[in-house]
Chains A and B, each alone.
Chain A
Amino acid sequence: MTTRWFGAPVQRVEDDRLLRGHGRFTDDIDEGALECCFVRSPYAHARIVSINADAARAVPGVVAVYTAADLPFGGVDLPLLIPHPNLTHGRTQRCLASERVRYAGEAVVFLVAESRYIAEDAAELVEVEYEQLPVVITPEVALEAAHLVHDDVPGNVAAEMLQQKGDVDAALKAAPHRKHLRLRFERGAASPMEGRAVWARWSASERRLLVYDSTQSPTSIRGGLAVLFGLPESSVEVIAPDVGGGFGPKIMLFYPDELLVPFAAMQLGRPVKWTEDRQEHFTAVNQERGQVHEVEVGFDDEGHVRALSDDFIHDAGAYTPYGIILPIISAAQLPGPYRISNYRVRFRDLYTNAVPTSPYRGAGRPHACFVMERTLDAIAAELGIERVEVRRRNLIQPDEFPYDVGVGWQDGNTVVYDSGNYPELLDRALQKLGPKPAGDQVGMGIGIYVEGTGVGPYEGAHVQVLVSGKVVAATGIPSQGQAHATVWAQVVADELGVDVADVEVTGGDTRRFPWGVGTFASRGAVTAGNAMHVAARMVADKARQIASDHLEAAPEDLELVGGRVSVKGSPDRGIPLGAVAVLSNPVRYAFGGGTEAATQFAARPRPGPPLQDGEQPGLEATGYYSPPGSTWASGCHAAYVRVDPKTFRLEILKYVVVHDCGRVINPLVLQGQIEGGVAQGIGGAFYERLAYDADGQLRNASFMEFLMPYATEIPPIEIDHIETPSPLNPLGVKGAGEAGVIPVGAVLASAIEDALHVPITEMPLSPLKLYEALLSS
């Protein structure tokens, strides 16, 4: 394959309209839409005694008020997306609660009005009588099971899973040293700048439903809506237009509004729109990260890990719509780049009276990495060996791939690393980090991680050459800023020998491509990227086939270069791709240059009908890619920090990243992904937290108190790459979307511990926590 575009820092094709303010986000779509708001539970756990919405219904401008009793699907449990045999007590919420609310923010009443202002006025008039119930908040409290989140879930345990590789008990017993650690990671929030939003229009005459949704998976939304409303899928179209960041929670479905907005549009015969505000984003959008780990590690005098046993509890929140993917990932990713021959991991997934959890960028990995790296630091401290050295001694070596970790993965397979070079990552990172700056309270931190990316089951792509010679391509997955339109264009342009500017990509629009899974789990480049490659190659083959008749040359002697199909070595003997597109359709009706060019090549008579068996009109193809297993990206982060010994303000003096995601499609885009990921990691490690009180109230549900970093809090990040191509897919790529965030907590914990000489056992940190840790040590 020619690699003209693949690997080049191509500037984004998405930028122009976004920079001019011509982006099209869901809330930008109006068309006279009614606007909505919710009445949400103010209590984390309560029984609903009564709901009276009469006064709200009477407000001028209010068009409809729905309670569960008003919905034909009011008694239906929302779907459990990923069932698992170990999820013995999976529970999901209903669209609107009518009997019980299990988190503050759970939707109870849905109001539709002429404007959001009126809807909010009316919502204040809805009277809901609650009888408060005991609240279960934090996984530790859930484990005590003094109170239950669900009456029929004993011990609050949604799921339990135990996995073992080797003989952990024997190895622990035989190990010269043992260490126990208790490590805690609090909840965090993705907080994309655009909250969630849904717009819907029902066309009664055509019986068609059109939905715009700020989602990471429009294809799944479409499938669900079709079933719920009893429509053929072809009557439902779902589009994720420009989406203002996702980072995980927008892959969750169905949020109640995703059903209620289309339902109201069908009922009321007018377009309906709901746009989440920031306050409700904090209390009604899925969160992540809450885990508590109890680690027992056995190691020898040289710091080699002989056995690792981890028993952790995971904060599921009030429901398990997303199954147990998060703790499964944590369990699987905990050993990371290290050779752990004897590994046992048990988790219990526990219900709490808080917003449900589902993946947020990193998805189970930042906590797993934190636990593993804290454990290695503890070993180093115990033995008096350099932290870097302990890591080096335990790393899986480049000649050990494919490497079987021996535990289960989220796709049902076991974890088998496809390729990598972990010692090289470490060496390069140290080299980049350089010598430690002078000064007191300066600490060094380091962390290495592995990330399973590119999970299946599949994605598809459609690629078509138009008679103009331009190319259109579409895939089911939407972009939330990852520059899909640019990088898919690079992949397609290489196969078709056209300029990247001549390829127009659409993602996340079921009108253009109806099948697919979604944008999550760092899977876009692997799944949709390879699907684009497959489809584009099919188109190229077809172009060669069609052109061969007209150029009187064998297809294998033809090449696609410069927007033409021509005979290798004789560029004059060629035909523009647009002309091939004209020839591909026996009805030649096209306007323009393509037709004129094609007429020079009168169709050669051949026996049989114009379109012969197996032939299809159009220079187009639909291709799919279904990965045989995950691709395993990896990286090493290292940092120097300084902590003010009196105010405990954190200053990150230097932060370096060495990253491996296989072959790089676009280094500019990749750099942006890493830089952004690290910034989110820094936010989650030192600034942001979700502060629930014992009553289950989130006490900092605003950007004033949920401290997302500004530019002033984020240092420059120095980035380097190595490339160990994945042997599993044609492009040799691995995912990169989540990489930046994963080890940041581990690195900063290590660095701050080194700077202040206080044990760091939890995330996130803050000046207050450091002050108190120092006082108590």
Chain B
Amino acid sequence: MKPPPFEYHAPTSVEEACSLLASLEDAKVLAGGQSLIPLLNFRLARPQHLVDINHVTGLDRISEKDGGVAVQALVRQSAVEDSELVARVCPLLRDAVRLVAHRVIRNRGTVCGSIAHADPASELPAVLLALGGSVTAVSVKGKRVIHSQELFKGVFETSLRPEELLTEAWFPASPQPFAIHEESRRHGDFALAGAVRAGDRLALFGVAPTPVLAERRDPTQGLEPSADLEATPDFRLHLVRVLTERVFAA
């Protein structure tokens, strides 16, 4: 379980990172590495180039923006967890981050990385979707804002282009009431199913190829969850109903 060979790049600016991403074939961005490095160790991912953005300056801020919270690409999940700004403006994000793996993983893992990785069972993409947030993608061609509803395209798939760097995720302030509930086998595991409530909006995770928006009255409508060792599609639908009830009971 050792990473395969790759070429390592450590840009120090967004521009440099973007020009690397534009020029390199088969490059992968390395931020927190908490999902990517296990994939390398299993040799399930074998990119030719790794673009490590950890030395890029000016990407590590959490700020209040447009009535919400902007989280830059190198902000660790633990920093969001501890942020007073996040607690005040978007406590839903704080609650969600606490459900991501364990503190030791959050010390390294980034919020933007989790969103770019787009694991369907992961919390933060669903929170972004429930809040109707967006991300900023930068490339040599310029900057664009991608709304959360346009971002998630499939299992580990987003509308980010290979040459784009996700530099920031923007989470609108969490409306009252809000809640996130998930069912996982062990504390810190990926969810078998999860539900995020932001006011009247409901987003589900772990039950479709991407996080999805759903209706409170009929949350399972149109869902065709996959089966795995711990849950059948039927059990997942059952959990969706239970969790929906629980987030709206909050």
Interface residues of A (CB under 8 A from B): 116-117, 120-121, 124, 277-279, 646-647, 649, 687, 689, 691, 699-700, 702, 704-705, 707, 709-710, 712-713, 766-768, 771-772
- How distant is A184 from chain B, measured CB to nearest CB, in Å? 17
Interface check B4, CB cutoff 8 A: yes
Chain A residues with Cβ below 8 Å from B3 are 117
Q: Interface with A: B19-27, B79-87, B230-238, which one?
A: B230-238
- How distant is A41 from chain B, measured CB to nearest CB, in Å? 17
Interface check B141, CB cutoff 8 A: no
Interface check B217, CB cutoff 8 A: no
Chain A residues with Cβ below 8 Å from B239 are 647
Name B241's closest neighbour in chain A (CB-CB).
Answer: A646
- How distant is B219 from chain A, measured CB to nearest CB, in Å? 14
Chain B residues with Cβ below 8 Å from A710 are 186-188
Q: Check if A121 sits within 8 Å of B4, measured CB to CB.
A: yes
Contact with A along B215-250 (1 / 0, CB 8 A): 000000000000001111001001100100000000
Chain A residues with Cβ below 8 Å from B229 are 689, 691, 699-700, 705
Some 9 contacts from A to B, beta carbons below 8 A apart, are A121-B5, A279-B42, A649-B183, A687-B185, A712-B187, A713-B187, A767-B183, A772-B232, A772-B235
Chain B, range 17-44, C-beta contacts under 8 Å to A: 38, 42-43
| C-alpha spacing A29/B93, complex, angstroms | 46
Residue among B187, B188, B242 making CB contact with A646, cutoff 8 Å: B242
Chain B residues with Cβ below 8 Å from A767 are 183, 185, 192, 230, 235
Residue in A120, A279, A647 with the greatest tally of chain B CB atoms within 10 Å: A647
Q: Check if A687 sits within 8 Å of B186, measured CB to CB.
A: yes
Additional A-B contacts beyond A647-B183, A712-B187, A768-B231 (13; CB < 8 A): A117-B2, A117-B3, A120-B2, A121-B5, A689-B229, A691-B229, A700-B229, A707-B189, A709-B186, A712-B188, A713-B186, A766-B230, A767-B230
Chain A residues with Cβ below 8 Å from B188 are 710, 712
Q: How large is the interface on B (under 10, 10 to 19, 20 to 34, 35 or more residues)?
A: 20 to 34
Q: List the count of A-B residue pairs having beta carbons below 8 Å apart.
A: 57
Chain B residues with Cβ below 8 Å from A699 are 229
| C-alpha spacing A649/B243, complex, angstroms | 13
Name B232's closest neighbour in chain A (CB-CB).
Answer: A768
- How distant is B179 from chain A, measured CB to nearest CB, in Å? 15
Known contacts A647-B239, A647-B242, A768-B230; A707 and B1 CB within 8 A of each other: no
Chain B, range 59-98, C-beta contacts under 8 Å to A: none
| C-alpha spacing A709/B189, complex, angstroms | 11
Q: Check if B235 sits within 8 Å of A768, measured CB to CB.
A: yes
Q: Check if B238 sits within 8 Å of A771, measured CB to CB.
A: yes
Known contacts A647-B183, A687-B186; A116 and B2 CB within 8 A of each other: yes
Shortest beta-carbon contacts, A-B, top 10: A712-B187, A277-B1, A646-B242, A117-B2, A691-B229, A647-B183, A707-B185, A120-B2, A771-B235, A768-B235
- How distant is A689 from chain B, measured CB to nearest CB, in Å? 8
Chain B residues with Cβ below 8 Å from A712 are 186-188
Chain B residues with Cβ below 8 Å from A705 are 229
| C-alpha spacing A689/B228, complex, angstroms | 13
| C-alpha spacing A704/B239, complex, angstroms | 21
| C-alpha spacing A647/B231, complex, angstroms | 11
- How distant is A60 from chain B, measured CB to nearest CB, in Å? 12
| C-alpha spacing A700/B228, complex, angstroms | 10
| C-alpha spacing A277/B229, complex, angstroms | 23
Name A712's closest neighbour in chain B (CB-CB).
Answer: B187
Name A771's closest neighbour in chain B (CB-CB).
Answer: B235
- How distant is A698 from chain B, measured CB to nearest CB, in Å? 11
Chain B, range 202-223, C-beta contacts under 8 Å to A: none
Chain B, range 153-201, C-beta contacts under 8 Å to A: 183, 185-189, 192
| C-alpha spacing A212/B234, complex, angstroms | 51
| C-alpha spacing A121/B242, complex, angstroms | 47
| C-alpha spacing A120/B188, complex, angstroms | 31
| C-alpha spacing A710/B1, complex, angstroms | 23
| C-alpha spacing A647/B193, complex, angstroms | 10
- How distant is A361 from chain B, measured CB to nearest CB, in Å? 21
Chain B residues with Cβ below 8 Å from A768 are 230-232, 235
- How distant is B86 from chain A, measured CB to nearest CB, in Å? 24
Residue in A766, A768, A772 with the greatest tally of chain B CB atoms within 10 Å: A768
| C-alpha spacing A120/B1, complex, angstroms | 8
| C-alpha spacing A709/B42, complex, angstroms | 22
- How distant is B205 from chain A, measured CB to nearest CB, in Å? 16
Chain B residues with Cβ below 8 Å from A277 are 1
Name A276's closest neighbour in chain B (CB-CB).
Answer: B1
Name B183's closest neighbour in chain A (CB-CB).
Answer: A647
Chain A residues with Cβ below 8 Å from B4 are 120-121
- How distant is A260 from chain B, measured CB to nearest CB, in Å? 19
Chain A residues with Cβ below 8 Å from B192 are 767
| C-alpha spacing A646/B183, complex, angstroms | 11
Q: Check if B1 sits within 8 Å of A279, measured CB to CB.
A: yes
Residue in B38, B185, B239, B242 with the greatest tally of chain A CB atoms within 10 Å: B185
Chain A residues with Cβ below 8 Å from B238 are 646, 771
Residue in B38, B192, B230, B232 with the greatest tally of chain A CB atoms within 10 Å: B230
- How distant is A186 from chain B, measured CB to nearest CB, in Å? 12
| C-alpha spacing A277/B5, complex, angstroms | 18
Chain A residues with Cβ below 8 Å from B186 are 687, 707, 709-710, 712-713
Chain A residues with Cβ below 8 Å from B189 are 704, 707
Chain A residues with Cβ below 8 Å from B187 are 710, 712-713
Chain B residues with Cβ below 8 Å from A707 are 185-186, 189
- How distant is A55 from chain B, measured CB to nearest CB, in Å? 15
Chain A residues with Cβ below 8 Å from B242 are 646-647
- How distant is A426 from chain B, measured CB to nearest CB, in Å? 33
- How distant is A683 from chain B, measured CB to nearest CB, in Å? 10
Name A37's closest neighbour in chain B (CB-CB).
Answer: B2
| C-alpha spacing A649/B230, complex, angstroms | 12
Chain A residues with Cβ below 8 Å from B5 are 121
Chain B residues with Cβ below 8 Å from A646 are 238, 242
| C-alpha spacing A700/B188, complex, angstroms | 17
